[in-house]
Amino acid sequence: MSSYEYDICIIGSGAGSGPVAYELSNAGFKVLVLEKGPWFKTKDFTKDEITAVRRDVYTPRLIDEPQVIETKDREGNWVAKSNANTGQNFWNGSLVGGSSNFMSGYFHRMKPNDFKLLSTYGGIEGSNVVDWPISYKDLEPYYTKVEKVVGVSGRILDHKFQEPRSTPSFPQKPLAENIVSHWIDNAAEKLGYQMVPIPRAILSKPKDNRNSCVYSNYCGSYACASDAKGSSRAALLNQALDTQNCKIIPNAKVYHLETNGTGQLIKAHYYDISQNKKEVTARIFVVAAQAIETARLLLMSKNTEFPEGLSNNNNQVGKNLIFSAGGTGSGQFFFEDLAEKEAEELQVRGLFVNRSLHNWYEIDDEKLGGKVKGGTIDFLFEHANATTKAIRQKWDDHGNLLFGPALKKKLKAYFTEQRKLKFEVFADWLPTDDCFVRLDPKVTDKWGDPVARIRLGYHPHDLKVGKYLAEKAEKLLAEMGAKNIKSHISGGAPPNLVVGGCRFGNDPKTSVLDKNCKSHEVDNLYITDGSFMPTGGSVTYTWTIYANSFRVADKIKERLS
User: In sequence order, which residues have a C-beta less than 8 Å from that of residue 399 and are 6 or more positions away?
Assistant: none
The side-by-side arrangement of strands in the sheet containing 253-259 is 253-259, 265-271, 277-280
Range with the poorest average pLDDT among 81-90, 281-290, 329-338: 81-90
Whether pLDDT at 214 is above 60: yes
Domain ranges of the chain: 6-560
% the chain with pLDDT above 70? 100
Rounded average pLDDT over 380-389: 93
Q: What is the pLDDT of residue 49?
A: 86
Local confidence band at 51 (pLDDT 50, 70, 90 cut-offs) = confident
Threshold 0.85, pTM exceeds: yes
CATH number (3.50.50.60, 3.30.9.10, 3.40.50.300, 3.20.20.70) of 6-560 reads 3.50.50.60
Mean pLDDT over 136-154 rounds to 98
At 46 the pLDDT is 87
Per-residue pLDDT of 237-274, as tens digits, reads 999 999 999 999 999 999 999 999 999 999 999 999 99
Confidence of residue 2 (pLDDT cuts 50, 70, 90): low
Determine the average pLDDT of the residues in 328-340: 98
Give the type of residue at 254.
Answer: V
Confidence at 446, pLDDT banded by 50, 70, 90? very high
Residue bearing the bigger pLDDT, 502 or 561: 502
Listed residue (43, 106, 91, 48) closest to 238, CA to CA = 43
Residue 50: pLDDT band by 50, 70, 90 thresholds? confident
pLDDT, tens digit (0-9, with 9 covering 90-100), for 81-132: 999 999 988 999 999 999 999 999 999 999 999 999 999 999 999 999 999 9
pLDDT of amino acid 337: 97
How far, in Å, are 139, 203, 249 from residue 149 at the CA level? 15, 11, 24
Mean of the pLDDT values across residues 316-328?
98
pLDDT of residue 554 exceeding 50 = yes
Report angle CA 515, 519, 520 to the nearest 5 degrees: 80
* Residue 411 DSSP SS3: helix
For residue 189, how many other CB atoms are within 10 A of its CB?
12
Rounded to whole angstroms, the Cα distance separating 129 from 117 reads 7
Question: What is the rounded CA–CA span in Å between residue 55 and residue 66?
Answer: 15
Question: For 21, phi and psi rounded to 5 degrees?
Answer: -60, -45
pLDDT, residue 333, reads: 98
User: If you average pLDDT over residues 507-526, what whole number do you get?
Assistant: 98
Q: Give the pLDDT confidence of 338-352 residue by residue, as tens digits.
A: 999 999 999 999 999
Say how many C-beta atoms besides its own lie within 10 A of residue 277's C-beta: 11
Contacts of 18 by beta carbon, 8 Å cutoff, 6+ apart: 97, 100, 232, 233, 235, 236, 237, 240, 546, 549
Q: What pLDDT does 474 receive?
A: 98
- The average pLDDT across 72-83 equals 94
pLDDT, residue 1, reads: 34
User: What is the average pLDDT across 515-532?
Assistant: 98
